[in-house]
A = this chain, B = another copy of it.
Amino acid sequence: MGSEAEHVLTLDTLNPNVIELQYAVRGPIVIRATEIENEIKAGLKKPFAQVVKANIGDCHATGQKPITYIRQVLALCTYPELLKSNDFPEDAKAQARRILEGCKGQSIGSYTDSCGLMVVREDVANYIGERDGYPADAKDIVLCTGASDGIKSVMTLLLTAKGGIDAAGFMIPIPQYPLYSAAISEFGAYPIPYYLNEKNKWALDVSELERAITEAKPNCKPRAIVVINPGNPTGSVLTKENIKDVIKFAHRHKLFIMADEVYQHNIWAEGAEFVSFKKVLQEMGAPYNKMELASFMSASKGFMGECGYRGGYAEVINLQPEVRAHYYKSISAKLCPPVSGQAVIDCIVNPPKPGGPSYDTYMKEKDDVLAKLKEKAKFVTELFNSIEGISCNEVMGAMYAFPRIYLPEKAVEAAKAAGQTPDSFYCFALLEEMGICTVPGSGFREEPGTFHFRTTILPQMDELKAVLNKFKDFHLNFLAKYK
């Protein structure tokens, strides 16, 4: 009996759901990337001067500047003394005053309602109403600590508190954003993977949905379908027809729809447009417009990229009133989402108005960020498709490319010998040789026998070009090495 035996928590007693949980976006390769950064700091020689973190959609980390107006409103809310300053525009002051009026004691240091400030919820409802052409109700808006928190809160409602064949089943796209698989593990729920059609721009085929749910029904209680649109990691943008098909499918199988729409401002492809699930539900009329739907939005993506403020909201419609009361109650133990994050959301959904002193700068900064991202989406797509052994669907939306890599058999064997998936093996080599940190496709799950990686399109254009040239060298070397 060594001192080890004295621990309450060991690998034998630790919550097995925690052991199972994986979150690839911050997984082993990212941990290794940070180690390498520390090795460089400590003077260790590397074939590169710094690590490029293309693993996570962290806009400001890769050189994007904050939108001035948002930060002005936040500074005014934070330190209201600045309301007296002539250095801040009147529209920013008015918006800050309005937010502070909504805060108890006029301080963003006080708790808000658990659903968030009513003034922000109203602004979100107006934004959605204008976006969709159908009104939204502020009572259906729940602000949250980033979209992740909102997603987990809704998933919590759908759990069964039972295991085995009584566990709640969540249909998730493959490839998917790993928050979903991580939450399913943590909750002891049951994942129902459905494969997106890589050959058809990662479209969502109803026949595949039917296959997936049919196979899963003996093993769990299917409760919800998760759709990510625009797609992460795929970069796809669904058509309205495709969304209709999904809604009909969900209705047929009595599934709660969870629409992850955090990239709704990030549409790049010609002819593509963002259409919300809420809008399509409304257009379809009865019985679809009574279906339960949660749509999630974030302050972290779009053109603002304010990840660190942890702002987000969920619009949750058509809940039974009793269920909604329990939902509100269940989030009350978290007290409230960060109020500065709520203020960021307010600036996004209620931006400066034409004619106001901040309008031109705001629009210029917004358009500039979006134009650059659009340019990079095109550049990345074309570059990947120009390289032997790689194919990549067009980055139609969101902030990522998810190229497919065709790996030689010898590389697959070498990976096996190293105890890694082939794409992990590939991505680790890319990190060690070139200092480029991406995320292996296996972290998002993928069709068996296919290999991918995810990279953000966020580095500034000059850096992105340099990085992708280094990548190309790496890739061709890798192919040659394992030919």
Please choose the segment from A125-133, A141-149, A192-200, A346-354 that sits at the chain B interface, where 4 or more of its residues have CB less than 8 A away: A141-149
Does A287 touch B at the CB level, under 8 Å? yes
A290, B82: Cβ atoms under 8 Å?
no
Q: Report which of B9, B11, B19, B78 forms a contact with A74, defined as CB distance below 8 A.
A: B78
Query: Contacts A6-B290, A105-B62, A290-B3 known; A186 to B323 CB distance under 8 Å?
Result: no
A132-168 residues with Cβ-Cβ distance < 8 A to B are: 145-146, 148-149, 156-163
Q: Are B338 and A61 in contact (CB under 8 A)?
A: no
Contact of A104 among B58, B71, B112, B330 (CB under 8 A): B58
Q: Which of B9, B161, B305 contacts A256 (CB 8 A)?
A: B9
Once A145-B145, A335-B146 are accepted as A-B contacts, the answer to whether A15 and B66 lie under 8 Å apart by CB is no
Q: Specify which of B108, B186, B224 is in contact with A308 (CB 8 Å cutoff).
A: B108
Would A159 and B105 be within 8 Å (CB), given that A21-B329, A58-B111, A112-B308 are in contact? no
Any chain B CB within 8 A of the CB of A218?
A: no
Tell me whether A335 and B160 are in contact (CB under 8 A): no
The listed residue with most B CB atoms (<10 A of its CB), out of A18, A178, A304, is A18
Judged by a CB distance under 8 angstroms, whether A207 is at the interface is no
The one of B64, B310, B333 in contact with A337, judged by C-beta atoms closer than 8 angstroms, is: B310
Provide the residues of chain B in CB contact with A71, threshold 8 Å: 78-79
Contacts of A291 in B (CB 8 A): 6
- Size category of the binding interface on chain A: 35 or more
Q: Count copies of this chain in the complex.
A: 2
A391 contacts chain B at the CB level, 8 A cutoff: no
Q: B79 contacts A72, CB within 8 Å?
A: yes
A291 to B308, CA, bound (A): 34
CA of A103 to CA of B23 in the docked complex: distance in angstroms? Answer: 22
Flag if A308 contacts B109 (CB, 8 Å): yes
Q: A79 touches which one: B74, B188, B318 (CB < 8 A)? A: B74
- Measured between beta carbons, the chain B residues less than 8 angstroms from A19 are 326
CB contact list, A158-216 vs B, under 8 A: 158-163, 178-179, 182-183, 186, 188
Distance in angstroms from A275 CB to nearest chain B CB is: 23
Task: Give A60 to B108 CA distance when docked, in angstroms.
Answer: 9
Q: Which residue of B lies closest to A108 (CB)?
A: B308
Contacts of A338 in B (CB 8 A): 145, 308-310, 338, 340-341
B160 near A333: Cβ-Cβ < 8 Å? no
A26 to B325, CA, bound (A): 12
Q: A71-B79, A148-B333 are in contact. Are A109 and B18 (CB under 8 A)?
A: no
Interface string of A78-112 (1 = CB under 8 A from B): 11001001010000000000000001110111111
Tell me if A59 is interfacial: C-beta within 8 Å of chain B. Answer: yes
* CB nearest neighbor in B for A64: B105
Known A14-B323, A60-B104, A104-B61; contact A6-B308, beta-carbon cutoff 8 A: no
Q: Shortest CB–CB separation between residue A427 and chain B, in angstroms?
A: 18
Let me know if A332 is at the binding interface, CB within 8 A.
Answer: yes
Contact A333/B8 with A71-B79, A74-B79, A309-B339 known, Cβ cut-off 8 Å: no
Query: Does A223 have its Cβ within 8 Å of any Cβ on chain B?
Result: yes
Cα–Cα distance between A108 and B390 once the two chains are bound (Å)? 36
CA distance A8 to B225 in the complex (A): 12
Distance, CA A14 to CA B334, complexed state (A):
19
A–B complex contacts, Cβ < 8 Å, 17 sampled = A8-B223, A9-B157, A9-B320, A15-B161, A16-B161, A21-B330, A23-B333, A26-B329, A58-B111, A60-B105, A60-B109, A75-B79, A85-B87, A145-B338, A146-B334, A146-B335, A309-B338
